[in-house]
Structure 1
């Protein structure tokens, strides 16, 4: 990866350096010789990793942390009253958004950016793994912990870069990748976009950001995304998916506990040769993960990476943390941790669970953000009625104010209209071991879904269940 020449002597301070997106960019800049420091309200695995690298991390936000700082980096989550931001503005310290720093890094490299409502992290990770397998040695910045890297970041030595482009705050339109990948689109982040039509405009803008010799790749299984991309001005467009109209299509699909197995048909286009690839094995379960892998195959074929190296990368790929992660197999009851927090993601997670043919699927659901729970309320009901037993926790607010008439009690009451006593409120997380013991039997799957602190609950369970062994 090319060293950035400009401003190499500046000291850059990241406000909220422990965040998934912020920590990755900080690590990459540090690897390039920049003087990096940051602050966060909490110590977490990301701050611990950065400290081990030699990056100074302050606990808490204070103007005292900014001694000698020339550049301040913030994310959209930083409040305008943050003391470090206020001090920087007062002292005329340059303030940049996280997306500005990511765009600056991409400018100096051959970049691949992945965006979409769902599947970004897994798709970005798969693309990075394929490029790594083919000795492209990419630098990668991902919005999740990749198991084989044990990090959100991979530092490479080439000028190739693979990044996850966050769509939550509209910043994806500031990125200008050589290859743009769009996985899907759903009604999400309406607190920022205000309307679905506005979200669609941003996605089209991102798709049009590739250069003349660049490529826009998209999943044609998503009907809305397919319609949006029909308005893309770029001549180099490639579709992938499971439907017959896709340029790169998966066929003969088999999914079991050992993985996902399929063949691939590639149509002849201005960028692709006609080809059939047999016997692909992916160490991830589910049709949605097959779609994610097809995006990686599409990128690989554009870059003339041979099939052997694609297969090798897929077989070695160990997945992403909190994506249908098996936490424990207690008395034959599989306990799963999953990041799903949107109805479409929960739907895919439940479909994956059913593929494993369990006796029962029990879901512990923590709604994430009052605004999302309200906007997608009926979609959550429609999806969650398909499990066998449902426990609903309090809404994880993520800093939002409580919305009247949006509560776990109301949701449970309405879910029980589908089946009597099917849903129950989770009133105390300390009751989770008893719930597993009383509700679960050998052959069942218990899935914890949500983007809040529910992951801590499920990862604490193995120790709590030991006393019952």
Structure 2
């Protein structure tokens, strides 16, 4: 139990099936802690956790805290857990320590050299790339990521290498709990205004994050992103060492992007680093992914890994689930799934999808995520989705938000002018509509942060049924 702080020796996780929470559970179990948890519904994630020894209850009740003798030493929650949750209410009544997910993860980082990857877009992919590259260099990092690595199917791991790589979530400001020695900020673009309130407050939280870097540590930023470049300048003025990457880089110690060449199976980014020109192959499509790879390369170098080994590891990176993930094909129609849920992400991913589609058309089934985001960015979503040929817009996946009058998927669909747009409020009709629109050689992508991910297999099955009929 020496690897587990005493407060986490018997941990109960409310909402244990979530990406962040299940990752913490994996690490706790690997370190020998006793773990219990609960969630509203069963999940395939629980198969592995139960096999490792976790006690998991479906449905949330106060008695779930009694899975182990003596009860839990701590109850771990995420921002999504409401104060009225019966298990949280019971924990507070019993005087049990309640920790936010980020606080628990920060406790698990103790004694490690920590690399945290932040940014509005690209943090899951960049964290994953860095993890795989370090594994290729045989450094066996611990990691906690907001998505499952395709190589291992896992979102977290307890490693023996003394390095901890973590995705740092700015959505609720909880990344201010961490004190990394290596911090990456891929970009800064206002989002999650339901929590932060204003664009200025959103930007300010990244400034505070940079101040959390350990003395002697480093901030790595994309110099081509204006707000990130401004963040770097502020941090540098406060004495933080900064390394930059991008096309606008001028310093020899940074990573200057010289060219990006797309290919059928990803692309190649050429960079100048420390006086040498290096080609880094990236097996996932899109220039934005190539930039993420350069960020991961710089972070790996700061963690002591060799450039050549990191480049080889990045070339072997097979992607993250729900990041342009291939779901299957029916005839010559290919179906993918992607997590993009902000206009900038949708734009970047559809530019990559257009290349992957070749001569075929692009059919997108898009599900807006959050009423507040849909209302704020409806015009931007419409413009980004116009990069496709056919767009099916579903209704809003509200997640933690209550419905807002007048805010539906139609708000986006009605503003799409560069593609044929179809507003489909009935989720159970979306797969049929997508199959109607897809022709020979087309590429279909389901897109969004909600349950739209379920539609890929249904679209394939519908296409198969028609071809067999």
TM-score bin (small chain): over 0.9
Give the aligned length.
Answer: 458
Shift, 1:293, TM fit:
0.3
CA distances 1:339-392 after superposition (whole Å, capped 9, x unpaired): 001001100111101223343222111111111101112211221222211111
> What's 1:157 paired with?
160
**How many angstroms apart in 1 are the aligned matches of 2:250 and 2:442?**
38
Shift, 1:78, TM fit:
0.3
Shift, 1:213, TM fit:
1.4
> What's 1:35 paired with?
34
Deviates more, 1:324-333 or 1:67-76: 324-333
Does residue 1:402 correspond to 2:400, yes or no?
Answer: no
> What's 2:371 paired with?
370
SS in 1 for 2:446: strand
CA distances 1:218-238 after superposition (whole Å, capped 9, x unpaired): 111211111122111234110
TM-score by length of 2: 0.93
Shift, 1:428, TM fit:
3.7
Does the CA-based 8 Å contact 1:20-1:143 persist in structure 2?
yes
> What's 1:423 paired with?
421
Does the CA-based 8 Å contact 2:379-2:415 persist in structure 1?
no
**How many angstroms apart in 2 are the aligned matches of 1:10 and 1:227?**
42
Shift, 1:244, TM fit:
4.2
The equivalent position to 2:436 in structure 1, one of 413, 438, 455, is 438
4+ residue segments displaced more than 4 Å: none
Structure 1 residues 9 and 327: alpha-carbon distance in aligned structure 2, compared to 1, 3 A threshold: closer
> What's 1:270 paired with?
none
Deviates more, 1:181-190 or 1:399-408: 399-408
TM-score by length of 1: 0.93
CA distances 1:252-293 after superposition (whole Å, capped 9, x unpaired): 321021221122101xxxxxx43221x321111111101110
The equivalent position to 2:178 in structure 1, one of 168, 175, 178, is 175
**How many angstroms apart in 2 are the aligned matches of 1:350 and 1:88?**
45
**How many angstroms apart in 1 are the aligned matches of 2:246 and 2:441?**
32
SS in 2 for 1:459: helix
Unaligned runs of 5+ in 2: none
Does residue 1:18 correspond to 2:17, yes or no?
Answer: yes
The equivalent position to 2:451 in structure 1, one of 453, 460, 463, is 453
Does the CA-based 8 Å contact 1:429-1:457 persist in structure 2?
no
**How many angstroms apart in 2 are the aligned matches of 1:166 and 1:21?**
10
Does residue 1:351 correspond to 2:351, yes or no?
Answer: yes
Shift, 1:240, TM fit:
1.0
SS in 1 for 2:129: helix
> What's 1:263 paired with?
270
**How many angstroms apart in 2 are the aligned matches of 1:433 and 1:40?**
28
Structure 1 residues 436 and 312: alpha-carbon distance in aligned structure 2, compared to 1, 3 A threshold: same
> What's 1:134 paired with?
137
Structure 1 residues 411 and 130: alpha-carbon distance in aligned structure 2, compared to 1, 3 A threshold: closer
Does residue 1:339 correspond to 2:339, yes or no?
Answer: yes
Structure 1 residues 306 and 158: alpha-carbon distance in aligned structure 2, compared to 1, 3 A threshold: closer
Does the CA-based 8 Å contact 1:367-1:396 persist in structure 2?
yes
Does the CA-based 8 Å contact 1:248-1:294 persist in structure 2?
yes
SS in 2 for 1:411: helix
**How many angstroms apart in 2 are the aligned matches of 1:165 and 1:37?**
24
SS in 1 for 2:3: coil
Shift, 1:337, TM fit:
0.6
Does residue 1:327 correspond to 2:334, yes or no?
Answer: no
Shift, 1:306, TM fit:
2.3
Structure 1 residues 135 and 3: alpha-carbon distance in aligned structure 2, compared to 1, 3 A threshold: farther
**How many angstroms apart in 2 are the aligned matches of 1:303 and 1:92?**
40
Does the CA-based 8 Å contact 1:216-1:238 persist in structure 2?
yes
Does the CA-based 8 Å contact 2:351-2:387 persist in structure 1?
no
Does the CA-based 8 Å contact 2:12-2:76 persist in structure 1?
yes
Unaligned runs of 5+ in 1: 267-272
C-alpha RMSD of the superposition: 1.9
Does residue 1:414 correspond to 2:415, yes or no?
Answer: yes
CA distances 1:45-66 after superposition (whole Å, capped 9, x unpaired): 2222211211111111111111
CA distances 1:65-91 after superposition (whole Å, capped 9, x unpaired): 112222111110000000011111111
SS in 2 for 1:101: helix
**How many angstroms apart in 2 are the aligned matches of 1:288 and 1:384?**
17
**How many angstroms apart in 1 are the aligned matches of 2:12 and 2:232?**
38
> What's 1:300 paired with?
300
**How many angstroms apart in 1 are the aligned matches of 2:294 and 2:166?**
17
**How many angstroms apart in 2 are the aligned matches of 1:187 and 1:163?**
22
